[in-house]
């Protein structure tokens, strides 16, 4: 499901379908190693839809709960760019 979300997000640019598959991955596989990547993908999709407050909330959560992971680090960068 994560791969489908990624394809819909980056190749098809269908953010709503990508969100659906990211959420399905999170719900079905709560212990997946890809959890932080799923949340980061959700944040990017929310940005793509213009839902900036929702994206900021997701990035803030990543910053706090997944610091030190690549997704957590990218979330910090996205937050900094959104503040500018």
Tell me the pLDDT of the chain (84 aa) as tens digits. 999 999 999 999 999 999 999 999 999 999 999 999 999 999 999 999 999 999 999 999 999 999 999 999 999 999 999 987
Q: What is the rounded distance in angstroms from the CA atom of residue 14 to the CA atom of residue 62?
A: 23
Helix (H) or strand (E) holding 46: helix 35-48
Both tokens of 42, joined, read 């959700």
| Closest-CA residue to 79 (of 34, 47, 35) | 47
Q: What is the rounded distance in angstroms from the CA atom of residue 31 to the CA atom of residue 83?
A: 32
DSSP letter at 42 equals H
Give pTM, 2 decimals: 0.94
Both tokens of 38, joined, read 């799923």
Q: Which domains does the chain have, with CATH numbers?
A: 2-83 (1.25.40.10)
- At 55 the pLDDT is 98
């Amino acid at each position: 499901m994560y791969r489908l979300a990624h394809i819909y997000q980056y190749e098809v640019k269908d953010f709503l379908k990508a969100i659906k598959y990211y959420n399905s991955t999170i719900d079905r596989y709560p212990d997946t190693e890809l959890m932080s990547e799923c949340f980061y993908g959700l944040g990017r999709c929310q940005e793509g839809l213009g839902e900036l407050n929702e994206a900021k909330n997701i990035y803030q959560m990543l910053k706090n709960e997944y610091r030190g992971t690549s997704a957590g680090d990218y979330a910090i960068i996205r937050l900094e760019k959104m503040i500018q």
